Amino acid sequence: MAQKTLLKGRVLSFTGSPFEGEPTEAVIISGAVLVEDDRIAAVGDAENLRANNPEANVVDHGQNVIMAGFVDAHVHYPQTAMIASWGKRLIDWLNTYTFPEEMKFGDPAYAGEIANRYLDLTAAHGTTTMCSFCTIHPESVDAFFTAAQKRNQRVVAGKTCMDRNAPEGLRDTAQTGYDQSQALLENWHGVDRLSYAITPRFSPTSTPEQLEAMGALWADYPHCLMQTHLSEQTDEIAWVRELFPEARDYLDTYEKFGLLGSNGLYGHVIHLEARERDRLREVDAALIHCPTSNTFIGSGLFDMAGLMRDGHRVGLATDTGGGSSFSMLRTMAAAYEIGQLRGAPLHAAQLLWLSTVGSARTLRMDDCIGNVAPGMEADLIVLDLASTPAIAQREACAENLWEAIFPTIMMGDDRAIAEVWIAGQRVSN
């Protein structure tokens, strides 16, 4: 017997991209969503769905908003414990905080502790899927996938590969990077709701030999995602020029080794040259905007308006722990602020789309997550639009739903997440 639950409220679904035409025209607001086992069975009028499914358990959320769970397209779960570490530029920040913390993940117990802590924290903030870098240690990948598998959670992750410009104990080799990544991929990819991503950290920490090995691995498993970093900071770009003097640009250090493709995810992409923008669009690669990280580490202002106008696939991410929050609400607020600084503020519908459908598209998973529609996996959240006194007093005088939602985007935190459902099961409230 199928288990049915009818969630009543203001159900937010996307019928298209709010970056094409009037943003609100891409959104439909319904009265209820019917969950059957781990899938969305129907979306529509609450009374009709109740009449046709009398056996369903009814949960009435009143005026709260029911929507897809947030999809975080670029994170580093091993950086959970050192999130919000003070004041460094990227390269110093890696050496001072990140690398010492990542050294600990050869210990399976510690890796498991942080993986579970991270998934608890992100679920409390309404994130139901994420794409994570792990560390060079296979144990870090096993820990993350094991924790997610127990929760029946859809996640993407991969062993970070680095064979230079990192401390001893955080370096592998071109061969071990390939062999360990292949073994992890074979063991985990496609199991339950788990997906593997081939993961060279970024060009400065991989020799040409390792980048070539990662490109060969991706050629062997082209159905997998590949994730890395690209053009985050100007001093990073200058470093890449020194390390790869023959390269046309930063992207070329990936392209020449087979690490540019339609299943590639490129984090940050702030300071792209014209050729890089053109090539990324030509191959339909995914670009990941990490606004809290970009402001926290002083990287620069992402060109959302220009890249969307040119037809790029763009997702949104916290970039834990360069990003200073686990919250996709806070991430949306930072994306709005960066848009304002570039003279192109984002509408609430665009922000919510980026954090759900948009990010799911970058992961090539928008056929199963990121929206509320029949047949989709039932990863859902319920937003309380009056979660704090400050938000409630603003919401009370809102003239429409978008005015009511926007204060929660700008000021909301985990208190705004009234419920979280993963694969049709309520996991927190």
DSSP 323: B
pLDDT confidence bin for 84, thresholds 50/70/90: confident
What per-residue confidence (pLDDT) applies to 428? 66
Whether residue 32 contacts residue 9, with contact meaning beta carbons closer than 8 Å, is answered with yes
Can 4-69+370-428 and 70-362 be said to share one CATH topology? no
Map out the domains of the chain as residue ranges.
Answer: 4-69+370-428, 70-362
DSSP 199: E
b/e burial code for range 30-46 (CB count within 10 A of at least 16 → b): bbbbbbbebbbbbbbeb
Quick one: 144 exposed, middle or buried, by C-beta within 10 A (0-12, 13-18, 19+)?
buried
**pLDDT tens digits along 271-291:** 999 999 999 999 999 999 999
pLDDT confidence bin for 188, thresholds 50/70/90: very high
What per-residue confidence (pLDDT) applies to 89? 72
**pLDDT tens digits along 195-244:** 999 999 999 999 999 999 999 999 999 999 999 999 999 999 999 999 99
How large a percentage of the chain has pLDDT more than 90? 93
What span, in angstroms and rounded, lies between the C-alpha atoms of 409 and 421? 20
Three-class secondary structure of residue 406 per DSSP? helix
The larger pLDDT score, comparing residue 9 to residue 99, is at 9
pLDDT confidence bin for 321, thresholds 50/70/90: confident
Whether residue 329 contacts residue 416, with contact meaning beta carbons closer than 8 Å, is answered with yes
**pLDDT tens digits along 366-417:** 999 999 999 999 999 999 999 999 999 999 999 999 999 999 999 999 999 9
- Please provide residue 427's backbone torsions phi and psi, each rounded to the nearest 5 degrees: -110, -20
Three-class secondary structure of residue 73 per DSSP? strand
Q: Could you give the strand order of the β-sheet that contains 39-44, starting from the edge strand earlier in sequence?
A: 39-44, 27-36, 4-14, 57-68, 380-383, 417-422, 425-428
CATH superfamily for 4-69+370-428 is Urease, subunit C, domain 1 (2.30.40.10)
pLDDT confidence bin for 429, thresholds 50/70/90: low
What span, in angstroms and rounded, lies between the C-alpha atoms of 9 and 382? 9
Concatenating the DSSP letter of every residue in 110-124 gives HHHHHHHHHHHHHHH
What span, in angstroms and rounded, lies between the C-alpha atoms of 73 and 317? 5
Quick one: 391 exposed, middle or buried, by C-beta within 10 A (0-12, 13-18, 19+)?
buried
**pLDDT tens digits along 346-370:** 999 999 999 999 999 999 999 999 9
pLDDT confidence bin for 322, thresholds 50/70/90: confident
CATH class of the domain at 70-362: alpha beta
